[in-house]
Amino acid sequence: MMYTNLLLEVQEGIAVLTINRPKALNALNAQTLQEIHQFFTKDGLAIKDLKGVIVTGAGEKSFVAGADISEFLKLEKGKGKAFAMKGHDIFFAIERFPKPVIAAVNGYALGGGCELAMACHIRVAGEKARFGQPEVNLGILPGYGGTQRLIQLIGKGKAIEMMLTADMIGAEEALRLGLVTHVIPLGQEVAKAKEILQKIATKGPVAVTKVIEAVNAYFNYLADGYNAEADGFSDCTETTDFKEGAAAFLEKRKANFKGE
């Protein structure tokens, strides 16, 4: 797990992954994207007893200020679609990660940064966080899933306005729109995300993964979300955790889940 642009800290089963390019406001260059991919497809999956992942940005100013614009000029003609699809693959790996992933948004979450936060399962924001999809300012559109996930999270009306005007919104408006679920004092974002992950860690681990899969299936036009929900329900009923959860409720005690 050697990274150049990421910091990884694992404590009590919670991995904190910090995008660490503060001089460029943590913009996602090719190297950083490759490292994020490596974490969510390989390294993160190998962490024993992982409860979940928190994604955040180094420094107080920025979560991630987007794709690294300095690499745009090197983009060869005819390579635009592959550029976007590479981002899609990486962000799908986050969205499909079997353990909960929370974005702790500490500052600017713009363009690819807003898209990165939206690929996470839950978003909490510091009070100074700013969200936006300003790509039209650059003559492009959100290319890492923003046109789809922003609509999913806040609805078509406000999403299309944000993407067409490039206007930013603050943390409180993001909360009102449902883009984030908590606004907390600056510097407390990671602590809040940890608190949420600790709570989720008391639930049935198989059920947690199946919720993630079923929710993702709702948004995958190639899959049938109801079918994924039924399959997930069926898988959960086959576990001993299912019996333990029901027994604990009936016996008025805390369930002792084993992930089996």
With respect to ligand CAA, which residue has the nearer C-beta, 75 or 247?
Answer: 75
- Cβ–Cβ under 8 Å, residues 118 and 162: no
Q: How far is the CB of 228 from ligand CAA (least distance, A)?
A: 28
Q: Is the dihedral of CA 137, 139, 145, 149 positive or negative?
A: positive
Q: How far is the CB of 133 from ligand CAA (least distance, A)?
A: 7
Q: Which two tokens stand for residue 127?
A: 């009070």
Which residues lie below 8 Å from residue 195, measured CB to CB, with a gap of 6+? none
Q: Which residue is nearest to ligand CAA (CB)?
A: 111
With respect to ligand CAA, which residue has the nearer C-beta, 90 or 214?
Answer: 90
- Is 135 a catalytic site residue? yes
Q: How far is the CB of 142 from ligand CAA (least distance, A)?
A: 4
Catalytic residue among 9, 35, 60, 135: 135
Task: Give the Cα separation of 28 and 9 in Å (integer).
Answer: 20
With respect to ligand CAA, which residue has the nearer C-beta, 39 or 144?
Answer: 144
With respect to ligand CAA, which residue has the nearer C-beta, 151 or 255?
Answer: 151
Catalytic residue among 95, 115, 189, 213: 115
Beta strands in 166-216 (DSSP E): 169-170, 182-184
Task: Give the Cα separation of 78 and 224 in Å (integer).
Answer: 33
Q: How far is the CB of 29 from ligand CAA (least distance, A)?
A: 8
Q: How far is the CB of 23 from ligand CAA (least distance, A)?
A: 6
Task: Give the Cα separation of 201 and 20 in Å (integer).
Answer: 27
Residue 170 has φ and ψ, to the nearest 5°, of: -90, 180
With respect to ligand CAA, which residue has the nearer C-beta, 13 or 170?
Answer: 170
User: Which residues of the shown chain bind ligand CAA in the complex (CB under 6 A)?
Assistant: 24-25, 27, 65-70, 87, 108, 110-112, 115, 134-135, 137-138, 142-144, 146
In degrees, rounded to 5, the angle at the alpha carbon of residue 228 between the alpha carbons of residues 224 and 54 is 110
CA 180 to centroid of chain Cα atoms: 11
Could you tell me the CA-to-CA distances from 15 to 47, 58, 103, 245 in Å, in that order? 9, 15, 12, 26
The catalytic residue positions are 115, 135
